């Protein structure tokens, strides 16, 4: 075959469900020359990355580090370490990623019970309490920010509830970390995983995880080996702990990237970052409402960083997304599962959560909808968004 040309992808504004735009400082960090994964200087970088991850997770958990793999590797890491064959596990399913967690748990040999809510809705404590009382599981798994629906699960009392039943709480924070509060210690979470490509605005390739002392006790009491050698925390903790015992070759450049991404998060400040995501969400929501577009997640539980909205009647999903990409360089996501062909997923995550992106997207979407024959008032969406910005 002829030699391919030099990489030259078209410029994009990434406003889908992930990845998000990467900050230029993170890209610059990735050009830093390599050192060895056991080099004393790299071990310092590992320590720095862990400390910043603890700050962002709001935890003091010793075993807090980035798994070498994407967010789904973080899911597998948590499940296969906490679960032994025939252990009981409840998984809360209200979207694609609850379904995926249940699938991973079944593959790990768990006796899985699912409790379900319609897509776009969240779970109440009473229904979870009833399931815990009936099943008495070792682990309860739940998604904090369901990327397929844009629903935000309340977490404040869930850890306390789980511990009443001697159950470990496992949380999917792939889309939430760095965009909305994730308070691991205060919420009494036992195991949590995330991904770098969402609100941390780092390329995909690492999955931050954190295990509580309670979770580590459960892992160290296992009667059988962890199903996965690569993801076995009884070994990996020796590399990311004080011993620094060789386990695998860490993805050095990705850890450079994550270190810089975490620096950006903490320079901005967690509260300021959460407020920025909320402000841009409010402006986007006002603009969409001016176009008559409704949200898919129930009111009061909508994510600011992942806006899942219903596609207006008579508008073709794929043709609008295709035009946004081809003419405006804007990527948004289509619906998954129950929402396939019925919803758009608009990301305002991390570095992508900027006023200029909100206004550009609304202006472009207006043009696409007008061309599709939708009866809307030209300029109304941008005006509504600007009204929000003028008050904030």
Domain membership flag for residue 8: no
Burial of 185 (0-12, 13-18, 19+ CB in 10 A): middle
CATH of the domain at 169: 3.40.640.10
Same domain, 262 and 276: no
Per-residue pLDDT at 156: 96
Same domain, 213 and 334: no
Same domain, 95 and 242: yes
Per-residue pLDDT at 220: 93
Quick: pLDDT tens for 265-313. Answer: 999 999 999 999 999 999 999 999 999 999 999 999 999 999 999 999 9
Q: 267, 300, 316 — which closes off a domain?
A: 267
Task: Work out whether strand 206-211 and strand 191-193 pair parallel, antiparallel, or are unpaired.
Answer: antiparallel
**Kind and range of the H or E run holding 326:** helix 317-328
Residue located via tokens 């992808």 = 9
User: Helix/strand/coil (H, E, C) string of 59-87?
Assistant: CCCCEEEEEECCHHHHHHHHHHHHCCCCC
CA 318 to CA 379: how far, in whole Å? 23
Q: 215, 235, 267 — which closes off a domain?
A: 267
- Full domain range(s) for residue 349: 270-391
**Kind and range of the H or E run holding 210:** strand 206-211
Name the token pair of 149. 């629906």
Q: How many angstroms separate the Cα of 285 from the Cα of each of 140, 314, 369, 385, 387?
A: 33, 21, 16, 8, 12
Q: Which regions in the chain score pLDDT beneath 70?
A: none
Q: 267, 293, 322 — which closes off a domain?
A: 267
Residue located via tokens 């986007």 = 284
Same domain, 356 and 257: no
Same domain, 347 and 288: yes
Same domain, 128 and 85: yes
CA 98 to CA 172: how far, in whole Å? 9
Same domain, 192 and 317: no
Domain membership flag for residue 236: yes
Same domain, 123 and 32: yes
Residue 175 and residue 75 in contact, taking contact as beta carbons nearer than 8 Å = no
How many domains does the structure of the chain reveal? 2
Same domain, 346 and 287: yes
Same domain, 239 and 371: no
Domain membership flag for residue 343: yes
CATH of the domain at 290: 3.90.1150.10
User: Could you count the other beta carbons within 10 Å of the beta carbon of residue 220?
Assistant: 10
Per-residue pLDDT at 300: 97
Domain membership flag for residue 300: yes
Assign residue 314 a region (left: φ > 0; alpha: ψ between -120 and 50; beta: otherwise): left
First to last CA, the chain: 56
Quick: pLDDT tens for 332-373. Answer: 999 999 999 999 999 999 999 999 999 999 999 999 999 988
């Amino acid at each position: 075959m002829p030699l391919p040309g030099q990489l030259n992808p078209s410029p994009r504004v990434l406003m889908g469900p992930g990845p998000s735009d990467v900050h230029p400082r993170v890209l610059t960090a990735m050009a830093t020359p390599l050192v060895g994964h056991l080099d004393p200087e790299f071990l310092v970088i590992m320590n720095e990355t862990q400390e910043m991850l603890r700050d962002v997770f709001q935890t003091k958990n010793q075993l807090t580090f980035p798994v070498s793999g994407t967010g789904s590797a973080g899911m597998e890491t948590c499940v296969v370490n906490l679960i032994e064959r025939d252990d009981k596990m409840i998984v809360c399913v209200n979207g694609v990623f609850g379904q995926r967690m249940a699938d991973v748990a079944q593959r790990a040999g768990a006796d899985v019970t699912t409790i379900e809510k319609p897509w776009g809705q969240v779970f109440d404590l009473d229904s979870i309490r009833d399931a815990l009382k009936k099943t008495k599981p070792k682990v309860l798994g739940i998604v904090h920010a369901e990327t397929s629906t844009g629903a935000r699960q309340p977490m404040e009392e869930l850890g306390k509830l789980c511990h009443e039943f001697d159950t470990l709480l496992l949380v999917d924070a792939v889309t939430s970390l760095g965009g909305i509060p994730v308070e691991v210690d205060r919420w009494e979470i036992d195991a949590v995983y995330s991904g770098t490509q969402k609100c941390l605005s780092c390329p995909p390739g690492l999955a931050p995880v954190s295990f509580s002392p309670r979770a580590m006790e459960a892992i160290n009491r296992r009667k059988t080996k962890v199903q996965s050698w690569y993801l076995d925390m009884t070994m990996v903790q020796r590399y990311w702990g004080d011993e620094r015992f060789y386990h695998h070759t860490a993805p050095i450049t990705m850890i450079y990237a994550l270190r810089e991404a975490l620096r950006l998060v903490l320079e901005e400040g967690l509260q300021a970052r959460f407020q920025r995501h909320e402000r841009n969400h409010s402006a986007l929501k006002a603009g969409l409402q001016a176009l008559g577009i409704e949200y898919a997640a129930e009111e009061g539980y909508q994510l600011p960083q992942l806006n899942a909205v219903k596609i207006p009647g008579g508008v073709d999903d794929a043709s609008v997304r295709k035009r946004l990409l081809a003419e405006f360089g804007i990527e948004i996501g289509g619906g998954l599962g129950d929402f396939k062909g019925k919803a758009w997923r608009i990301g305002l995550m991390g570095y992508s959560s900027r006023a200029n992106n909100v206004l550009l997207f609304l202006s472009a979407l207006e043009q696409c909808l007008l061309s599709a024959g939708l009866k809307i008032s030209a300029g109304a969406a941008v005006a509504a968004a600007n009204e929000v910005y003028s008050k904030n």
